Structure 1
Amino acid sequence: MIENVIFDMNGVITDDEHLHELATQKVFETIGLTITPEIYRQYCLGRTDASAFCDMIKDFQLKNIEVASIISEKSIVYQQLVADNLKVYPGVIMLIERLYQKYPLAITTSSTFEEVKTVLNELYLENRFKTVVSANDVQRGKPDPEPYVLTAEKLGVLPENCLVIEDSENGIRSAIAAGMKCIAITNTENRDKLTLAHYIIEDYSEITNELLESL
């Protein structure tokens, strides 16, 4: 039985993956690496900046680069971009408000805490989520199960009683490995990348009470 609903943020609530990509491009451009859309998708989509940037620094043999410094710079650029360009997916705010009436809600995201705080403040959603697990809280980001396992611990619930809403293959793998149910939405990935989820939707109106009760 579903007792809690956990939202990923980027690609699920916020239509801002392009802003993360642009911020990443801007920061790495200053150290001599051009981040193409292919590189961003391969290394960054659905992962923490710490994991993605460490892998890029190693694979592209970037010297004398402090990962923490790059993460901080990217976060600052992202927050500047999102202040004027934040978009949300159609129907997701209505879904959050509807689910909030029945379920404790949480956010589990690969974004930093400061990025999450900026977004929730912009959307006036600070009090809708019982807990937030960000990249700052984990050693191993998605697709490792740690982020969702920690979310269940912070909520004080069993993973099998949690439903996750995700948009990326890495996010789905994390939720499933944690023992949770997962609905995937085709906001950022093709359907064939989301087949590990328990259910795939194209619009938030498809998340009905009947669907939740059937999972």
Structure 2
Amino acid sequence: MITTVIFDMNGVITDDEDLHELATQKTFEKVGLSITPDIYRQYCLGRTDASAFVDLIGNFHLKDQEVSSIINDKSILYQELIADNLKIYPGVIRLIENLCLKYTLALTTSSTFEEAQTVVNQLEIENLFKVIVSSNDVKRGKPDPEPYLLTAEKLGVSSDNCVVIEDSENGIRSAIAAGMKCIALPNTENRDKLTLAHCIVDDYSEITDELLQSL
């Protein structure tokens, strides 16, 4: 029986992948690397900045660059960008408010703790999530199962009782590797990248109690 619904944040709640991309581009411009859309999707989509930036620094031979410093610079810029530009997907807040009446909710994001706090505070939804797991909490980000396994551990629930709502291939792989059911939304990736999910929906209104219990 499904008792718990776990939301990804970027690309599921917040329509802000473009702002993450812009913040990443501007940050890496300062150290001499041009982040094209293809590079961003290959290295960053659905991953933690820590994992993505380590690979970018290594593969593009950016010498004498500290990952922690680049992450901090990018996070500060992202928070500045969303101050007046935060967009959310239509229907997602209503879905969260409806589901929290019957299910335990959690938020598991590849964003930093500071970025997640900025978003949930601005949307006034922090109290609807029993647990928030960010990139600061894990050593291995998505597609590794650690983020979702840690979320279940913090909630004290079995993976069998959890459904994850994701938008990226890396996020789906993480959820499934953790032994959870997964619903995907084609918000940031093409449907053919989401086929590992148990279900793909096009609208938040499709995520009903009947659907959750049928997975």
**Short-chain TM bin:** over 0.9
- CA distance in structure 2 between the partners assigned to 1:179 and 1:4 by the alignment: 13
- Map of 1:153 onto structure 2: 153
Indicate the residue corresponding to 1:119 in structure 2. Answer: 119
Query: Aligned pair 1:72/2:72, yes or no?
Result: yes
Aligned residue for 1:107, secondary structure, equals: strand
Aligned AA (1:27): T
SS at match of 2:83: helix
Amino acid at match of 1:201: V
* Aligned match of 2:184: 184
Counterpart CA distance in 2 for 1:116 and 1:34 is 26
Q: Distance in 1 between matches of 2:194 and 2:31?
A: 34
Distance in 2 between residues matched to 1:71 and 1:28, nearest whole Å:
10
Give 5+ residue unaligned stretches, structure 1: none
Q: So what's the TM-score if we normalise by structure 1?
A: 0.99
Q: CA deviation at 1:40?
A: 0.3
User: What residue is the counterpart of 1:27 in the other structure?
Assistant: 27
2:192 matches 1:200: no
- Which amino acid in the other structure matches residue 116 of structure 1? A
Shift of 1:209: 1.5
- The one-letter code sitting in structure 2 at the alignment partner of 1:199 is C
Cα deviation, residue 212, structure 1: 1.2
> Once the two structures are superposed, what CA deviation does each residue of 1:98-123 show, in whole Å capped at 9, x if it has no partner?
00111110000100000000000110
Q: Structure 2: how far apart are the matches of 1:14 and 1:112?
A: 14
Compute the displacement of 1:208 (Å): 1.3
Corresponding residue for residue 163 of structure 2: 163
- Partner letter of residue 202 of structure 2? E
Letter in 2 for 1:9: M
After superposition, the C-alpha distances for 1:108-158 in whole angstroms (9 at most, x for unaligned) are 010000000000011011101000110000000000000000000000000
User: 1:190 is aligned with what amino acid?
Assistant: N
CA distances 1:137-182 after superposition (whole Å, capped 9, x unpaired): 0000000000000000000000110000000000000000000000
Show structure 2 runs of 5+ residues with no match: none
> What CA distance in whole angstroms lies between the structure 2 residues aligned with 1:150 and 1:129?
15
- What's the % identity of the aligned pairs? 76
